[in-house]
């Protein structure tokens, strides 16, 4: 999956300077790095590492990984698992293929028909994804019979005939607006466009509002011709492209629907699995994605009042709300739900330091794709394999990490973060000692570096990018190009929301907040492992369609694979630097300041809504945490005293942010600072227990007792973390 945004601004689609950007020449390696007593030896290993990741080899990995559609659990998916395992082993790593048995739906047949008021058929879909060859070329991958019909993961089978209501993006505010206008979606098929929120949340809200089914289409306003030329002339989605994707209720819990909190190993007895359709993260109404080619006759036939300006898409006619007999849709979905085998690939490099070897540095990327997945996720996998190549070369030269490194290739991420979630649930006890999880999903869709991270790792990630040459300008670093050209950070990288170029260069490269939509979610939000996520972003209109393939990639994302090489260097350097640091380079000063800001913002909101809540103890706790963060930073900089105890406390403070009871309405999520919003999905809700009780996004009134209880839970967690940091002598 991956949260992503369309960079609609003047895209800096500069071609990379050279396929083989050398390791930094003009940028001297830093003399001092936070967390290292003496950086000299590490600097040599890092310099040796940076020379290894190879653009051409990365391009070859990409070609192999994208040779066939490799939907999770398919034989082609297994072939990619074996390829990744072989690459890990070739680098000298011990690698194993770890299977899980999980509930996945596979489409048997999908039929979407529409009729006008006279009963005349106006759509017989779905139209196959296809572009004709012309002056701008064609697509050699598009007609492969192994491509599954476009479908939504987690959608039940269904046979529904109903009138249609257009609900814009299907956000909580959109459904509220329909209700206020007296337009009921009860018993109707809701037609929504992609963008603004997670697609599973569109279905969650439609179901809560009584809809009978959901069709989700890609409007050209959001990632099509309104933004630029369409494929194959340009990178945006052509008329027949369909965005597949899971409609699992991810904000309730991710992973295998039948085994929340439990790993769905091959030997887990069926009696310990929830039986379909009981799992609460599966929708009960059918949903399917369609192209705008297929949405057009439906939208055009809708009548009723015209929609407001901000509901109008880019198709060349006025949109109407519908909900009348002017058009009827018949959607018939036959889904084959089975417990299917998926395969994570896990490689381990044992740590060499007796005091540190139980502390894990984990880095991962998913491998399964809706179709070919050249950008999502194979660009990430190709970059990871070249990072592993570099780590393997260091191992052969005698380098040994202090901490244990685990490299992971997750399966079934697209279905709802399944492979990573099951692995986290299986390894929960060990993960209390994991010092970081570094995620890559989409490695490269264009030239613009973007990142999200837990606040304590933001400066660490910036530091890493200061040591890596930019693919855009090899004389410069990833950091400086990123800092100079960044756009405003997306709030949770909401798909389909254009990002604005910053009016003035921001003083520092901005790193976003981790919401959900990729494999860091179980690590951070369930197990409390500090996490980062990064990508190289660009105009990418073929997300989750059959056209996200090798042909598109070499034409629009990264023709020379220089960005794969760059991302391999960033990914590998994160791992090396975290594995060997003397003192964990967490920045609790920034964490403290951000949390104080979150609490103050919630208080302002509560005041504006005239809610009587006592914020004082929570504000005091946030300030307490912030000052403990300042004090521990001084100790980290000194690198003296009991380093083992210092590291243990630094790690435990993040663990203190977990609450055993979990969040109201989604107790699988344990983190009191970050969670995917119940009504937003991709976008993070910060201090979610408090904010979700205050917000009336679903139309419900604020829940004051719940908000006060959550304020107290938050205060306890912050005081716990502060005390942990203060206890270090």
292/410 with CB nearer Zn ion: 410
In eight-state DSSP terms, residue 305 is: S
Least CB distance from residue 369 to Zn ion, whole Å? 8
CB of 413 to Zn ion, least distance (A): 6
Classify residue 61 as exposed, middle or buried by CB count within 10 Å of its CB (0-12, 13-18, 19+). Answer: buried
Measured distance CA(710)–CA(689) in Å, rounded: 5
Torsion on CA atoms 610, 613, 615, 616, rounded to nearest 10: 110
Of 2 and 670, which CB lies nearer to Zn ion in the complex structure?
2
C-alpha–C-alpha distance, residues 172 and 183, integer Å? 15
714 vs 670: CA distance, rounded Å: 11
Between 248 and 328, CB nearer to Zn ion:
248
In order, the DSSP letters of 204-255 are HHHHHTT-SEEEEE--HHHHSTTTSPBTTTSSBPPTT----EE-S-TTT--S
Q: Using the rule CB under 5 A, is 376 a contact of Zn ion? A: yes
- Of 103-111, 263-271, 368-376, 587-595: span binding Zn ion (CB under 5 A): 368-376
Retrieve residue 428's tokens: 């929960």
| Residue 594 in contact with Zn ion, rule: CB under 5 A | no
**In contact, 423 and 263? CB cutoff 8 Å:** yes
Please identify, among the stretches 64-72, 233-241, 435-443, 446-454, the one whose residues bind Zn ion according to the rule CB under 5 A.
435-443
Say how far apart CA 33 and CA 55 lie, in whole Å. 28
Q: 2, 340, 367, 389: which one contacts Zn ion (CB under 5 A)? A: 2
Q: Report in angstroms how near the CB of residue 709 gets to Zn ion at its nearest.
A: 36
Q: Which stretch binds Zn ion (CB under 5 A): 439-447, 449-457, 537-545, 668-676?
A: 439-447
Which C-beta is closer to Zn ion: that of 376 or that of 594?
Answer: 376
Which of 386, 414 has the CB closer to Zn ion? 414
Supply 503's token pair: 């009016």
CA quadruple 72, 266, 248, 498: dihedral sign: negative
Handedness of CA 526, 528, 534, 537 (dihedral sign): positive
d(CA 478, CA 467): 8
Assign 3-class secondary structure to 586-615: CCHHHHHHHHHHHHHHHHHHHHHCCCCCCC
| Nearer CB in complex with Zn ion: 21/365 | 365
* Contact string 389-428 vs Zn ion (x = CB under 5 A): ----------------------------------------
Helix or strand holding residue 531 (H, E)? strand 531-537
Residue among 147 and 172 whose Cβ is closer to Zn ion: 147
Q: Among 489, 523, 462, which Cα is nearest to 674's?
A: 523
Closer residue to Zn ion (CB): 219 or 376: 376
590/456 Cα distance (integer angstroms): 6
Binding mask 230-269 for Zn ion (x = CB under 5 A): ----------------------------------------
The window from 113-121, 207-215, 328-336, 369-377 that contacts Zn ion (CB under 5 A) reads: 369-377
Specify the residue, 417 or 684, whose C-beta has the smaller distance to Zn ion: 417
Burial of 446 (0-12, 13-18, 19+ CB in 10 A): buried
In whole angstroms, the minimum distance from the beta carbon of 377 to Zn ion comes to 4
Q: Which is nearer to Zn ion, 367 or 624 (CB)?
A: 367
Give the Cα-Cα-Cα angle 369, 253, 361 (nearest 5 degrees). 70
- In the complex, minimum distance from the CB of residue 588 to Zn ion, in angstroms, rounded to a whole number: 31
Closest CA to 248 of 688, 682, 724: 682
* Closer of 540 and 586 to Zn ion (Cβ): 540
- CA angle, 599 then 600 then 601, to 5°: 90
Does position 533 interact with Zn ion (CB under 5 A)? The reply is no
- Residue among 189 and 374 whose Cβ is closer to Zn ion: 374
Catalytic residue among 413, 414, 574, 594: 413
Task: Please name the residue that has the structure tokens 């399964």.
Answer: 368
In the complex, the smallest distance separating the C-beta of residue 429 from Zn ion, rounded to whole angstroms, is: 28
3-state secondary structure at position 122 = strand
Exactly one of 377, 538, 539, 572 binds Zn ion (CB under 5 A); that residue is 377
DSSP 80: H
Distances (CA, A) of 126 to 109, 111, 140, 237, 506: 10, 6, 21, 16, 46
* Stretch of residues binding Zn ion (CB under 5 A), selected from 312-320, 371-379, 443-451, 485-493: 371-379
Q: Is 413 a catalytic residue?
A: yes
Helix (H) or strand (E) holding 520: helix 520-521
Which of 465, 435, 591 shows the shortest CA–CA distance to 534?
Answer: 465
Determine the interface stretch with Zn ion among 145-153, 438-446, 606-614, 619-627 (rule: CB under 5 A): 438-446
Residue (46 or 441) nearer to Zn ion, CB: 441
User: Do 515 and 492 meet the contact criterion of CB atoms below 8 Å apart?
Assistant: yes
| Integer Cα distance of 627 and 633 in angstroms | 10
Instruction: Specify the length of the chain in residues.
Output: 729
Min CB(66)–Zn ion separation in Å:
13
3-state SS, residue 637: helix
Q: Is residue 441 at the binding interface for Zn ion, with CB under 5 A as the rule?
A: yes
What is the smallest separation between the CB atom of 258 and Zn ion, expressed in angstroms?
Answer: 23
What does the alpha-carbon distance between residue 217 and residue 209 come to, in Å, rounded to a whole number? 19
Residue from 505, 515, 337, 517 nearest 420 by CA: 517
Total residues contacting Zn ion (rule CB under 5 A)? 5
Q: Which single residue is written with the structure tokens 């509560």?
A: 606
In angstroms, the CA 137 to CA 298 distance is 30
Question: Could you give the residue numbers annotated as active site?
Answer: 413
The residues that touch Zn ion, with contacts defined as CB under 5 A, are 1-2, 376-377, 441
């Amino acid at each position: 999956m991956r949260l992503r945004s369309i960079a609609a601004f003047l895209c800096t689609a500069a071609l990379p300077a050279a396929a083989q950007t050398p390791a930094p020449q003009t940028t001297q390696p830093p003399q001092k790095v936070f967390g290292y007593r003496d950086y000299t030896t590490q600097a040599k290993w890092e310099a040796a590492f940076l020379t290894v990741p190879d653009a051409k080899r990365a391009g070859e990995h990409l070609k192999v990984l994208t040779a066939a559609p490799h939907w999770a659990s398919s034989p082609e998916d297994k072939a990619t698992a074996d390829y990744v395992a072989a690459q890990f082993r070739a680098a000298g790593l011990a690698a194993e293929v770890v299977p899980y048995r999980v509930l996945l739906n596979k489409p048997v047949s999908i039929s979407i028909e529409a009729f006008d008021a006279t009963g005349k058929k106006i759509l017989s879909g779905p139209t196959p994804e296809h572009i004709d060859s012309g002056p701008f070329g064609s697509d050699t991958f598009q007609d492969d019979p192994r491509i599954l019909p476009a479908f939504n993961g987690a959608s039940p089978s269904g046979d529904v005939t109903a009138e249609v209501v257009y609900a814009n993006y299907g956000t909580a505010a959109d459904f509220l607006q329909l209700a206020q206008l007296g337009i009921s979606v009860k018993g109707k098929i809701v037609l929504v466009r992609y963008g603004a929120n997670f697609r599973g949340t569109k279905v969650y809200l439609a179901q809560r509002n009584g809809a009978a089914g959901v069709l989700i289409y890609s409007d050209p306003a959001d990632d099509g011709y309104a933004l630029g030329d369409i494929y194959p002339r340009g990178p945006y989605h052509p008329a027949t492209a369909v965005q597949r994707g899971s409609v699992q209720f991810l904000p309730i819990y991710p992973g295998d629907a039948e085994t929340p909190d439990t790993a769905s190993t091959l030997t887990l007895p069926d009696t310990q699995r929830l039986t379909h359709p009981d799992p609460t993260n599966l929708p009960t109404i059918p949903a399917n994605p369609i192209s705008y080619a297929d949405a057009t006759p439906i939208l055009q036939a809708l009548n009723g009042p015209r929609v407001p300006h901000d509901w109008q898409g880019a198709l060349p006619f006025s949109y109407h709300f519908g909900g009348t007999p002017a058009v009827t849709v018949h959607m018939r979905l036959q889904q084959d739900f089975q417990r299917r085998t998926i395969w994570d690939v896990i490689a381990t490099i044992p740590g060499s330091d007796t005091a540190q070897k139980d502390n894990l540095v984990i880095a991962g990327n998913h491998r399964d794709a809706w179709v070919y997945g050249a950008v999502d996720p194979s660009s990430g996998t190709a970059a990871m394999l070249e990072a592993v190549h570099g780590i393997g070369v260091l191992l052969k030269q005698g380098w040994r990490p202090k901490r244990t490194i685990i490299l992971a290739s997750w399966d079934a991420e697209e279905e709802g973060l399944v492979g990573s979630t099951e692995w986290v649930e299986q390894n929960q006890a060990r993960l209390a000692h994991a010092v970081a999880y570094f995620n890559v999903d989409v490695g490269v869709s264009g030239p613009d570096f973007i990142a999200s991270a837990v606040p304590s790792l933001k400066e660490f990630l910036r530091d890493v990018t200061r040591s890596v040459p930019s693919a855009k300008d090899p004389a410069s670093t990833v950091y400086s190009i990123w800092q100079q050209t960044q756009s405003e950070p997306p709030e949770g990288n909401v798909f389909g929301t254009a990002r604005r170029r910053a009016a003035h260069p921001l003083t520092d490269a901005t790193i976003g907040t981790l919401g959900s939509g990729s494999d860091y979610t179980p690590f951070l939000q369930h197990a409390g492992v500090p996490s980062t996520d990064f990508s190289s972003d660009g105009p990418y209109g073929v997300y989750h369609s059959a056209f996200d393939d090798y042909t598109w990639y070499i034409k629009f994302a990264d023709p020379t694979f220089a960005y794969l090489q760059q991302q391999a260097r960033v990914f590998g350097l994160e791992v090396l630097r975290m594995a060997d640091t003397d003192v964990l380079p967490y920045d609790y000063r920034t964490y403290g300041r951000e949390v104080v800001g979150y609490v103050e913002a919630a208080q302002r909101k509560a005041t504006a809504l005239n809610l009587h809540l006592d914020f004082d103890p929570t504000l005091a706790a946030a300030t307490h945490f912030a000052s403990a963060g300042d004090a521990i930073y001084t100790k980290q900089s000194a690198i003296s005293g009991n380093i083992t105890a210092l590291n243990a406390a630094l790690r435990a403070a993040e663990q203190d942010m977990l609450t055993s009871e979990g969040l109201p309405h989604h107790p699988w999520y344990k983190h009191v600072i970050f969670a995917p919003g119940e009504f937003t999905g991709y976008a993070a809700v910060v201090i979610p227990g408090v904010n979700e009780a205050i917000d009336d996004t679903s139309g419900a009134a604020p829940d004051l007792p719940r908000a006060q209880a959550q304020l107290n839970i938050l205060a306890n967690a912050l005081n716990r973390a502060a005390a942990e940091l203060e206890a270090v002598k």
